Each structure stands twice: as structure tokens, then as C-alpha cells.
Amino acid sequence: MGGGASSSSTSTTTNKQQRRPRNPYAGGSCFSLGSLRSALHPFSKGGGQSGSRTVTADYEVSNEELGRGHYGVVFKGRSRATGKQVAIKRINKRSTEKKQMQMIEREVQCMQALNESPHPNIVRMHDLYEDSKFFWLVMEMCGGGELFDAIVARGKFSERESRQVMHAILQSVAHMHERGIVHRDLKPENILIDFSDDGATSSIKMIDFGLARPDSRQQTLMTRPNLTRFKSRVGTPYYIAPEVIRKDYSTSCDEWSCGVIAYILLCGFPPFNGATDADIFKRVKQGEFSFPNPEWKHISREAKHLIAKLLNKDPSKRITAREALQHPWFAGVTPIAQKLDPVEEALAHKQSQLVAVEAVDKVDNNGDTEKEAGLGKSAMQAKAILERVSGQAMGTAWKAWTALHP
């Protein structure tokens, strides 16, 4: 666990290795922090500056280990000023090589960019400290546990639950990509999920930006321009995109990972399996998968259609996260951790009612309205309401969407 930690996940790496096989679905030298401090400004503290504070001056750091990331250990902590719990990543300076330091610097740059425009489903960084032995990254403490463990415990999620979880994940990915950040290691282990007392999903948090990369050329809402091409093969075999294996890829590798996660949520096993990493890579590069029965017998065609769009082997034709959020599968979904205040919620509800009435009138007068309007934002809002009141109208919208997105 890298970019954040769960308050209920306290197992060490050794324990995780014991309970989780490598294939879970199968039957230095000291380096300066100068550039890193510059990247994190104004968060950076410490570094031997006159009058600077240490991490222990501002936070209580316990010995309770929450997890381990690519290059650090995460401990539970508490703010001395507010009493709020935090997750504190400790990185040993003398055992951190130059390449690892570059990864740390990128992680901090990504977290800084995301802090400037926070998202409720993405973990936040609070502070950065340095002393003679360690770097200390103070992160938001997240509740719940890994999505991976929830899948293992349940076997799979219902389609309704999967739709809600994927909506939150894709919102996070769209938010990152629109700020020029690619995660490159999306998987259930890097997503924290929490549940309410009645078993409903109450929180989703994307964590561990240890392999993330910033890109100065940001995407627009619905397009994927010629962003920086990455050449390093990183990620986890089950979730890695074929172009990553070829070492020539862009942000679209994250959407591929989302497709794999959605597939696993709905059936409990990955679309590309194998006894070894080499077997998995071979199947991923082929890009061929299926929806076998009985696991997929009762899964909707909308869900299968979206997964196929996310797992398009051609990254230039792969659906973007923002486009995916407009897919009919998400019509009527209840967002996670996107609460409005009562006044805003009332206004939004009134606006949705007006949009729905207008859309129904247009459908009555012209059966091709959805297609001509291009299923814009207003139409998508209307479909969310129409789904609950008119199965026939929803069927019309689905046909229009698939016609526009073959």
C-alpha cells in the first residue's frame, strides 16, 4: 500500500504474502531531496532548515504498520493539532536509489496536482517532512480495506454494486487524466472500499500513486490527444494493457485496467488468466476474452458492451473514462462520496425533473431525438430518470447510444 492506507488494514507484507498467492485468481545510496522539496512546495517541511519542524513535532507516529508500498512503509499517525488520524509513509533515504527517488518525486508531483483540485475518491497528501534518515509523506487516512479483499470475501459483486463502484473509479480516472496524470497501476489492491452498517458501499478511495506519471499536456473532457508516450513496462500482469507490454502507451492504459476491474467485480475472475506471468501477457497481447456462462448469463448487455469498449485492444479506439461515465450502464447510478448540501440537492432534483419532462415530450414527438442530440449531458440526466419510469424510453436511448458509439 503506497499512496494512502486503510484504518482497518493492519497486516504486514509478510502476512499478505502468506494469505495471498502470487497468482490469486489461478486454481543505496543517500540521495538529495532538494528537487522533491521544490515539487511539493508549500507542503515541504524539515530538511535541516533553521526553525523547521519535524514530523514528530506535528504528528504522533505509532508503530502500527498499515502496509508497504513500492518503496516505503506506512504507519498510523495522528495530528497533534487536530487529533485527526493520518497515514504516514516512511522512506529510508540511505536505501533509496536514484531511480526510486525519481518515482517518489513523480508521486509527490502527482499528489500536489491532485491536491490543487481534490476529488472525494482520490486519497490526499497533507504534508512532507525530511530528517537525517527518512522522508515522511503524511497522507489522508482512509477507512475500510482493499477492494481485492472484498472481492475475495464475496466471490463477486452484484451488478448494481459493481456499477456503483465502477462509476466512482471512472470518475477518479477521468479527474486524473484531465489533469495530465496517468496512474499506471490500477488494480483492486490500490482501491480502498468501505461499507455502511447495512452493507452498502459508503466510500471508494484510489491510492498508491507510486507508479503514476504527470504529463504537462492535459486532456480535454472527451478526447485523447497525442500525450507523452511512456516506455517503461510497469503495472500488474492481470491489469496491464497490451500497449504497456509493448512499452509504447499513454493514459489509455488506465481505462484498460478499469475494464479488467469491472470484469472481475461482475464474475470473480479476470478476463486474461494464466498459470504464469508469461501466459497472462500472451493472452493480454492477443486481447481476446469472452463472457462465459453461467457467470455471465444474467449480466446485462450494457455491462458487457462497456467492458468491451474499455478492453479494446486498439488504445486509439478505446473509450475514455469520461465517455464511459456517459454509458447507459450508469443511468440512474447513485454516486459514492459525492454529497451535495440540501439546497444544492433540491435545485439539482428540480432541474432533473424539468429535463426529464422535456425529454419525454421530445421522445413523443420525435423518436430520433436522442440520436440527433448526440446524447448530451441533459439527455444523460434525463435517461437517469427515464430508466426508473419508462423501460421503453430507456430502450430507445440504449439503441441511440450504440448507434452513435458502434
Helices (H) and strands (E) in the chain, counts: 15, 12
8/244 Cα distance (integer angstroms): 33
338/203 Cα distance (integer angstroms): 10
| Per-position DSSP letters for 252-271, written without gaps between them | HHHHHHHHHHHHHHHHSS-S
Under 8 Å CB-to-CB from 306, ≥6 apart: which residues?
262, 319, 324, 327, 329
Q: Three-state SS string across 123-178, please?
A: CCEEEEEECCCEEEEEEEEECCEEHHHHHHHHCCCCHHHHHHHHHHHHHHHHHHHC
Please answer whether residues 86 and 126 qualify as being in contact, where contact means their C-beta atoms are separated by less than 8 angstroms. Answer: yes
384/368 Cα distance (integer angstroms): 18
Q: Which of 185, 194, 208, 254 is catalytic?
A: 185
69/314 Cα distance (integer angstroms): 31
The size of the chain, in residues, is 406
20/17 Cα distance (integer angstroms): 5
Residue 185 known to be catalytic: yes
Rg (CA), the chain: 22
214/212 Cα distance (integer angstroms): 7
Catalytic residues: 185
